[in-house]
Structure 1
Amino acid sequence: MVSLQPIKRSKLRIYLGKKVFRLKRYGEWWWDGKQYAMTKAEDKLPHVVKKHRTPLLRQLKDVDMQLQHNKITNLKLAARRVNGIILQPGETFSYWRLIGNTTRRKGYVDGMILHYGKVTVGVGGGLCQLSNLIYWITLHTPLTVTERYRHSYDVFPDSSRSQPFGSGATCAFNYLDLQIKNETTTPYQLIVYLTDTHLTGEWRAASPATRTYKVYEKDHQFTFESWGGYVRHNTIFRHVYDLDGNLLEDEFVTENHAITMYEPFLTYEGE
């Protein structure tokens, strides 16, 4: 069992660390030899492989709802950058290479950012909802997630959660990236858009799916640590079925460990 505890870093250490990791990422984009997906198509590929949607507005404890509305502005801008992207066989999807830096000059506004277990405000905040959605629908395809980062802190208690804990992907420009490689022989296309109430994403393909997937968790638990807080743990697996419903594989996906910023055994309003 992994044991975690909060890490205190100075503002200077955090600032310099971001600079170093961002420069490293720029270098990787240019020199790592990967073929990154950059081509979009207005026409949709014919076959929907996986579709999912998440609500745009959630009432979070002690969080200004204006930040939720600002998030919608940021999601609209980011969604335009990835919507329609074609992922050809052998290519890699990079979340941040497509979206780019989220600056005010591009129209991004202040949104909610989770920073070392605390809710803060930053330009472009709220885009984890998009990376979470893309990661979730990718787990229901034969595409390969080659880079994904889990949340180090579990800030809010579950509220009407429909997906397992730890089934998302945190993001921070540009060093916490989400990368997905198409190791199949079929082109895939990512479609992302907003309705009045939801963020919707889907993977489409040039040929029909031959497998279906069910993502589930194992070994979910909270542990009380010697430093006086709780850590949440689980492992994510997925069942792979053929089109007749026969179980083909039971695949390990990832494990999650996150410091909880709430008392896990209390009942919270809205749950």
Structure 2
Amino acid sequence: MARKLFGDISPFTYAIAVKRQILQRQLSDLIRGEKLSTQRELQNLTVVIYRHNSLIRRKLGNVDLLLQENKAVSLGLAAPHIDGILIRPGETFSFWKLVGHCSAKKGYRTGLTINNNRPASGIAGGMCQFTNLLHWMVLHSPLEIAEHHHHGEIDLFPDFNRQIPFGTGTSIVYNYLDYRVHNPTENTFQFRISLSEEHLRGELRATEAIGVKYHVKEQESYFQKVGDEVYRRNKVFRSVRDKRTGNEIANELIVENNAKVLYDHALINAPIRPDVGGVLAQTHTP
């Protein structure tokens, strides 16, 4: 029998392990002395780089709808901490540094989380939708992703009005699984975030226009049977084109997903390729 990790022994040891991770991140930030974004400007910067709206209440299998309503409340509490934040040249944006610890005392509610590759619930669950939105906008800009985690090894829920390629989401846990973005340019960028009744709304703005256009596209997307299981596979690329000439100047692989489908296979709304008797490649993020 495999030896249990310290954090898996009991809820008490799990809490200790989490606290240790949080303290380690705080210490790491102190030692590194990274210049993190803190300045906020509530006047819009001149240029819209990219905008996107994310549906707040989505059909997620048999998940309790109350968790979706609670998520909406939590997103509303977090939004003012991000709205207007500037990412100036040489700075790094840290989601958790700005939002801070999301506790019930602050008004955050119980929402959907993922624990051991299964749906669960916890305070401020669903906050990854916030960083999903930020990440999708950042992918359409010259900002560099400094820290990113995701659930690419599992496909938890059937698609429902999917707008972006599978596997381009994020996974965050305060504060040791963060979403961080570095600005290597001479341009200043700004996140504008707001909520409507239906959507989490985002804009990425800048002081100056950029000379290229980004397009994120999915390729080789399919489901495949492996033994008694089904896996979802795809590759996501980012194309960069010069706005003046229209020429493609870069085409990079962002992520390659190989995700085990954890919901009823009858709910897959696409053909399933037969088992070819091989082992599928592991999830890869460049």
Corresponding residue number in structure 2 for 1:3: none
Corresponding residue number in structure 1 for 2:250: 249
Corresponding residue number in structure 1 for 2:66: 66
Provide the C-alpha distance between the structure 2 equivalents of 1:54 and 1:223, rounded to a whole number of angstroms.
Answer: 29
Counterpart residue type for residue 111 of structure 1? G
Report 1 or 2 for greater relative contact order, CA contacts < 8 Å, sequence distance ≥ 6. Answer: 1
Task: Give identity over the alignment, percent.
Answer: 34
Provide the C-alpha distance between the structure 2 equivalents of 1:189 and 1:11, rounded to a whole number of angstroms.
Answer: 44
Is 1:51 aligned to 2:32, yes or no?
Answer: no
Is 2:61–2:158's contact at 8 Å kept on the other side of the alignment? Answer: no
Counterpart residue type for residue 33 of structure 1? G
Q: TM-score, normalised by structure 1?
A: 0.89
Counterpart residue type for residue 60 of structure 1? L
Is 1:123 aligned to 2:123, yes or no?
Answer: yes
Is 1:10 aligned to 2:8, yes or no?
Answer: yes
Paired residue secondary structure (2:240): strand
Corresponding residue number in structure 1 for 2:216: 215
Q: Trace 1:112-151 onto structure 2 (pairs within 5 A).
A: 112-151=112-151
Q: Per the alignment, do residues 70 and 217 of structure 1 end up closer, same or farther by CA in structure 2, a change over 3 Å counting?
A: same
For residues 57-96 of structure 1, what are the alpha-carbon distances to aligned partners after superposition, in whole Å with 9 as ceiling and x for unaligned?
1122211111111111100111111111000010000111
Provide the C-alpha distance between the structure 2 equivalents of 1:128 and 1:49, rounded to a whole number of angstroms.
Answer: 22
Q: Per the alignment, do residues 132 and 11 of structure 1 end up closer, same or farther by CA in structure 2, a change over 3 Å counting?
A: farther
Paired residue secondary structure (2:137): helix
Q: Per the alignment, do residues 113 and 11 of structure 1 end up closer, same or farther by CA in structure 2, a change over 3 Å counting?
A: farther
- Say which one has the larger Rg: 2
Q: Per the alignment, do residues 260 and 20 of structure 1 end up closer, same or farther by CA in structure 2, a change over 3 Å counting?
A: farther
Across the aligned residues of Structure 1 and Structure 2, the Cα RMSD in angstroms comes to 2.2
Provide the C-alpha distance between the structure 1 equivalents of 2:101 and 2:231, rounded to a whole number of angstroms.
Answer: 32
Is 1:206 aligned to 2:192, yes or no?
Answer: no
Q: Trace 1:171-190 onto structure 2 (pairs within 5 A).
A: 171-190=172-191
Provide the C-alpha distance between the structure 2 equivalents of 1:214 and 1:103, rounded to a whole number of angstroms.
Answer: 37
Provide the C-alpha distance between the structure 2 equivalents of 1:114 and 1:11, rounded to a whole number of angstroms.
Answer: 19
Corresponding residue number in structure 2 for 1:4: none
Q: Following TM superposition, by how much is the alpha carbon of 1:222 offset from its aligned partner in structure 2, in angstroms? A: 4.0
Corresponding residue number in structure 1 for 2:35: 35
Is 2:158–2:267's contact at 8 Å kept on the other side of the alignment? Answer: no
Is 1:116–1:153's contact at 8 Å kept on the other side of the alignment? Answer: no
Q: Which moved more, 1:88-97 or 1:168-177?
A: 168-177
Q: TM-score, normalised by structure 2?
A: 0.84
Q: Following TM superposition, by how much is the alpha carbon of 1:50 offset from its aligned partner in structure 2, in angstroms? A: 0.4
For residues 150-173 of structure 1, what are the alpha-carbon distances to aligned partners after superposition, in whole Å with 9 as ceiling and x for unaligned?
114221011221211111111111
Is 2:214–2:238's contact at 8 Å kept on the other side of the alignment? Answer: yes
For residues 112-163 of structure 1, what are the alpha-carbon distances to aligned partners after superposition, in whole Å with 9 as ceiling and x for unaligned?
1121222222111111110100000100001001110011422101122121
Corresponding residue number in structure 1 for 2:19: 19
User: Which ranges of structure 1 fall in alignment gaps of 5 or more residues?
Assistant: 1-6
